Chains A and B, each alone.
Chain A
Amino acid sequence: MLFKIALKNLIGARLRTFLNVFVTSISFFVILFISGMYDGMRQYAKQTTIDTEIAGGSYWHPNYDPIDPMSFEKSHSKIPIALKKLINLKEAFPILVSQASIYPNGRMMPVTMKGIPPEQSIINMEGNNTDKVNPTKMLANHDEIEIPVLIGSEMAKKTQLKEGDTFIIRWLDSEKAYDAMEGTVMHIMNTENFKLDIGTIWIPIKKAQNMLNMENEATYVTYNEGIEKVKSSGDWLHRDVNYLISDIEAAIEADKPGNQILFFILLCLTAMGIFNAQVLSIFRRGKEIGTLMALGMTRSRVVGLFTLEGALNSFLATIMTVIFFGPILWYFAEKGIPLPMDYSEMGLMIAKRLIPVYSIGLILTTTILIGIVVLLVSYFPSRRISNMNPTDALRGKITT
């Protein structure tokens, strides 16, 4: 019965109810949309990193630190036997990392030179969503070329190199002697993983080992998804997917507080609207409250009625969100959101078309959060009713 009265009262309030429900549903939509974007970003970055770079995980040389190029000089050695077996089974592949200088168009540029087996198919640096040939394959079968080179599109833009262009590569070998040869751009890959692109050139690993005088050596070994951790990787360190994407997670986490402030402001707006409506209701509906009390409704039930009326706002807001904003959310989830710029230049792994992810957990937590906030702001003003005298209320006098 209480529910019926509450619903009738809400419908009777018409525009006021609509506005409250609309504001709540906008908050609902924005919170869902932005959280979904962040989840989408995180999922995209994780999946892209797995597909293009880390696969199932890696084993690193103990001195290797990818963010410290100074460590490259000392981070190479023969591959441990257990890892070598994985490589022979084509479940892993080695990468040899070193520093070099390139001279595209006669200008010097320091780069990270990475040797990779051209025949590997564990990762696809252009992502798994493409039908194109794995770009590392473009490095194979070019014995006539001094150094076949694979670069990313951003690197190509920066160096103004095109496919077929040649440039000088200079490096220090393991004996600290300078050597230089001509590299030829075999392919320019379009990768969304900026770590494989900016400041990096890829060459066949055999060539790199030969150039650097580091036969059969590597800096790290990347293994396929689903492969269990090997028991004896020597002093090489196991790095799982969670470790390898921790920097991406940290970058996204660092951006969260700003959005939490936005969510808080939106919730405050919703709460204020409902709070205001409740206070106004109690002031204007004094005679109704007095009548209900005179007819035998207890104070607590009257408080319950008003709280329920307020709380029904969030329920109606949920329905309104599904009806009005559901198609928009669905459209973005299907088609993605085209972003105005390429964030890879800024060192961020964000898709050019961002697809938000709305998980069940996200929808439930957002619904519960908004429900609780609305319930609280509906309850607090209604408490005044418990102090009312029915005869005063019947006369329309509100006393607290």
Chain B
Amino acid sequence: MNKFFVFLTSLSCIFGESNKLSVYDIVSEMDKNLNSNNRVLISEMIIHGRRKSRTIKSKSWSTGFEKAFTENLSPAREAGTKMLKLKDKLWTYSPQTDRIIQISGHMLRQSINGSDMSYKDMMETRPIREIYHLTLEKSAFINDRDHWVIFMEAKVKGLSYPKRRAWIDKEYFLPIKEERYAKSGKLLKTISMNNIKSVKGRWFPFHYRFKDELKRNSKGTEWIIIDIEFDSEISESRFSKALLRK
């Protein structure tokens, strides 16, 4: 009986915070922080290779989950390369070939610019709570900060990662660390976030690190946000295919 009481007490300690917030509320808050109606950002992607690293600077415009337009600004070799995402379709334009290519099927599995991110990774458009069953596993400390550990299991078909686990900061409501698993449970990818800053009343990470865990000795890919604007005006024409060639 005593053991049962201790167990109940410890359970209430672990999940004390979740008395107010359900796991779905936590994830909704997280989605709110990470996503917005409109967003314009300038970022740098640092792709660490075995021998050397490459940095690609780009500017992106996005509206909700479904529309996004990215243009590479530097280096000269990559400048002018554009990418348009509309719902589940993705097109890229390369000035070298002057061609627009739709990325579909197995091409989505390819990495973006040799990074640890695949096109498929950025094609996930639906809010997490709609596509995953969520389970609050426990609380855990990372760098002396308290986090909820949430396990996600796919409730719809067609998701790249059937299982995910996220460590969500209890103050920032951001997934400071995330692990993405294969169907078999094998860890495929990890994503970590830091350099959290407050922007227009929300917490937002300015530094991401993506890592393909199947690659040995990989340093992963860093994504650094240089400047971000939330809820700014974006013209509908920004998301037209015609703009890819301009």
Contacts and interface: CB of A to CB of B under 8 A. Distances in A.
A175 B157 contact: yes
B161 interface: yes
A181 B184 contact: yes
B186 A180 contact: yes
B217 interface: yes
Category for how many chain B residues contact A: 20 to 34
Interface residues of A, number: 23
Contact of B182 (A105, A107, A180): A180
A223 to B, nearest CB: 28
A215 to B, nearest CB: 15
Interface in B154-210: 154, 157-162, 182-184, 186, 188
Contact of B186 (A74, A99, A181): A181
A101 interface: yes
Contact of B214 (A74, A173, A175, A180): A180
A181 to B, nearest CB: 5
B106 A177 contact: no
A106 interface: yes
Given A69-B106, A70-B106, A101-B109, A176 B158 contact: yes
Nearest to A101: B109
Contacts of B188: 170, 178, 180
A177 B160 contact: yes
A362 to B, nearest CB: 46
Nearest to A179: B183
Contacts of A99: 106, 109
A177 B156 CA distance: 11
A107 B106 contact: no
B107 interface: yes
Contacts of A13: none
A168 interface: yes
Contacts of B157: 175-177
A316 B158 CA distance: 77
Interface centre among A99, A177, A178, A179 (most CB of B within 10 A): A178
Nearest to A108: B215
A107 B160 contact: no
Contacts of A176: 157-160
B216 A103 contact: yes
B183 A178 contact: yes
B222 interface: no
A177 B161 contact: yes
B214 A103 contact: yes
A72 B214 CA distance: 24
A168 B213 CA distance: 11
Interface in B83-126: 105-107, 109
B71 interface: no
A259 B159 CA distance: 56
Nearest to B110: A110
A70 B105 contact: yes
B106 A106 contact: no
A39 interface: no
B214 A168 contact: yes
Contact of A179 (B182, B212, B215): B182
B107 A70 contact: yes
Contacts of A73: 105-106
B36 interface: no
28 contacts: A69-B106, A70-B106, A73-B105, A73-B106, A74-B105, A99-B109, A101-B214, A103-B214, A106-B216, A106-B217, A107-B215, A107-B216, A108-B212, A172-B109, A176-B157, A177-B158, A177-B161, A177-B162, A177-B183, A178-B161, A178-B182, A179-B183, A179-B184, A180-B182, A180-B188, A181-B182, A181-B184, A181-B186
Interface of A: 69-70, 72-74, 99, 101, 103, 105-108, 168, 170, 172-173, 175-181
